[in-house]
Structure 1
Amino acid sequence: MISINLVVLRASEPDRLARFYGSLGMRFHKERHGSGPEHHACDVGGSVFEIYPLQQGAGGTRDTRLGFVVESLSDAVQAAVSADGILLSPPKMTSWGRRAVVQDPEGHKVELTEAA
């Protein structure tokens, strides 16, 4: 068996990005490991989701695509757009269920699928 235990995004505005994902229901706290940078961290379904500041010369994560199951797709889309997100694909029924795609303030595409 394999499972994901860590996802890290790098952001030029980590506080803004944490507010965006917070609007979807994630509850972040700030952490620092050793002499590393302070960053936002939260638990998402037993996995750690972190937002680090983008360091000069470091590779970004903008092309990373994420997907989350949400209780209410309509509420999640409204919250995401209200928190500086952009609606890329409006809610519609797909073979994976009712879903929409938004873009977070750093340019990551985020699939939101309504819980069955």
Structure 2
Amino acid sequence: MLRSVDLERALRFYAALGIALSREQHGSGPEHLAATIGTLVLEIYPQGSANKTLGVRLGFRVKSLVTTIARLQAINGVIVSPMQESQWGLRAVVSDPDGHQLELVEGNR
């Protein structure tokens, strides 16, 4: 679970990564975003007065890192570490609009 100061902005960013978040609300809890990715559930809640989640770093495999980085740059995404070959494949680190770092790796290694 991540926290965001702007759910709409988070929705656009993660959509550019190919993650289809939807709006959910459970009982009287806050409206938030959620997506199921395989067996993982990613939720993004409003920041509110809760502790920030900036210490979280997530990793995702993407089909094409070049295409993904281009989509993120088109919405002013921040590239923390540019694309480079690594032992895991072509890799880059980006930052979402709230400052969470995401490690992106291309392929199925």
Cα deviation for residue 84 of structure 1 reads: 3.0
In structure 2, the partner of 1:17 is: 10
Q: Give CA-to-partner distance per residue, 1:21-69, whole Å, 9 cap, x none.
A: 111111111100111100111111221111100112x101112111100
Cα deviation for residue 82 of structure 1 reads: 1.9
Matches within 5 A, 1:55-66: 55-56=48-49, 58-66=50-58
- Structure 1 runs, 4 residues or longer, greater than 6 Å off: none
Measured on the aligned residues, the alpha-carbon RMSD in Å equals 1.1
Contact 1:17 1:105 in 2 (8 A): yes
- From 88, 103, 107, give the equivalent of 2:80: 88
Quick one: distance in 1 between partners of 2:31 and 2:48? 12
Cα deviation for residue 83 of structure 1 reads: 2.4
- From 101, 104, 108, give the equivalent of 1:112: 104
Gaps of 5+ in 1: 1-7
Quick one: distance in 1 between partners of 2:42 and 2:99? 17
% same residue:
44
Q: Which amino acid aligns with 1:27?
A: A
In structure 2, the partner of 1:44 is: 37
Quick one: distance in 2 between partners of 1:45 and 1:77? 22
Matches within 5 A, 1:26-41: 26-41=19-34
Q: How many residues align?
A: 108
Quick one: distance in 2 between partners of 1:11 and 1:40? 10
